[in-house]
A = this chain, B = another copy of it.
Amino acid sequence: MATDSTPHANRKVTLADIAAGCDVSRATVSLVLRGSPLVNKLTRARVEEELRRQGYVYNRAAANLRRRTSSSIALVLNDLANPFFAEFATGVDEALGGGGYVTLLGSTGESVTREQAVLGSLLEHDPAGVILSPAEGSDAGQVLRTIGVRTPLLLFNRELAGKVSPDAPWDRLMLDNQRGARLATEHLIALGQKRIAFFGGHAASSSCQQRHAGYVEAMKAAGLRIEPHWRIECAPNRVDAAAQCGALFFESPAPTAAVCYNDAVALGLMLGLYQRGIQPGRDFAVTGFDDIAEAGLSAPPLTTLASTPRARGKQAAELLLQRLREPQAEPQRIVVPVQLVVRGSSCPPATA
A114's nearest neighbour on chain B, judged by CB, is B97
- Chain B residues lying within 8 Å of A298, measured Cβ to Cβ, are 298-299
**Contact yes or no, A124 B57, CB < 8 A:** yes
CA distance in complex: A126, B12 (Å): 10
**Contact yes or no, A86 B81, CB < 8 A:** yes
CA distance in complex: A330, B328 (Å): 54
A145's nearest neighbour on chain B, judged by CB, is B55
CA distance in complex: A267, B293 (Å): 11
- Chain B residues lying within 8 Å of A297, measured Cβ to Cβ, are 238, 242, 267-268, 271
A100 to chain B, nearest CB (A): 8
**Contact yes or no, A123 B93, CB < 8 A:** no
The answer to the question of A141 belonging to the interface, with a C-beta cut-off of 8 Å to chain B, is no
A146's nearest neighbour on chain B, judged by CB, is B57
A271 to chain B, nearest CB (A): 5
A123's nearest neighbour on chain B, judged by CB, is B57
Pick from B82, B85, B104: contact of A102, CB below 8 A.
B104
**Contact yes or no, A81 B72, CB < 8 A:** no
**Chain B proximity mask over A294-332: 1 for CB below 8 Å, otherwise 0:** 100111000000000010000000000000000000000
The answer to the question of A36 belonging to the interface, with a C-beta cut-off of 8 Å to chain B, is no
Of A61-69, A168-176, A188-196, the one touching chain B: A61-69
CA distance in complex: A83, B109 (Å): 15
CA distance in complex: A103, B106 (Å): 7
The answer to the question of A150 belonging to the interface, with a C-beta cut-off of 8 Å to chain B, is yes
Given A61-B61, A65-B61, A148-B57; A107-B126 close (CB under 8 Å) = no
- Chain B residues lying within 8 Å of A86, measured Cβ to Cβ, are 80-83, 85-86, 89
A352 to chain B, nearest CB (A): 28
The answer to the question of A160 belonging to the interface, with a C-beta cut-off of 8 Å to chain B, is no
**Contact yes or no, A105 B93, CB < 8 A:** yes
- Chain B residues lying within 8 Å of A72, measured Cβ to Cβ, are 104, 125
CB-defined A-B contacts under 8 Å, sample of 30: A12-B150, A55-B148, A59-B65, A59-B124, A59-B126, A61-B64, A61-B126, A65-B65, A72-B104, A72-B125, A80-B90, A81-B83, A81-B310, A82-B86, A86-B89, A90-B109, A93-B107, A97-B118, A102-B104, A102-B106, A102-B121, A103-B105, A103-B106, A238-B297, A242-B297, A267-B294, A267-B297, A294-B294, A298-B298, A298-B299
Instruction: Beyond A59-B65, A80-B86, A94-B109, list 10 extra A-B contacts (CB 8 Å).
Output: A55-B148, A60-B124, A61-B61, A61-B126, A80-B90, A83-B83, A85-B86, A97-B121, A274-B299, A298-B298
The 8 closest A-B pairs by CB, nearest first: A86-B86, A105-B105, A60-B124, A103-B105, A299-B299, A81-B90, A61-B61, A58-B124
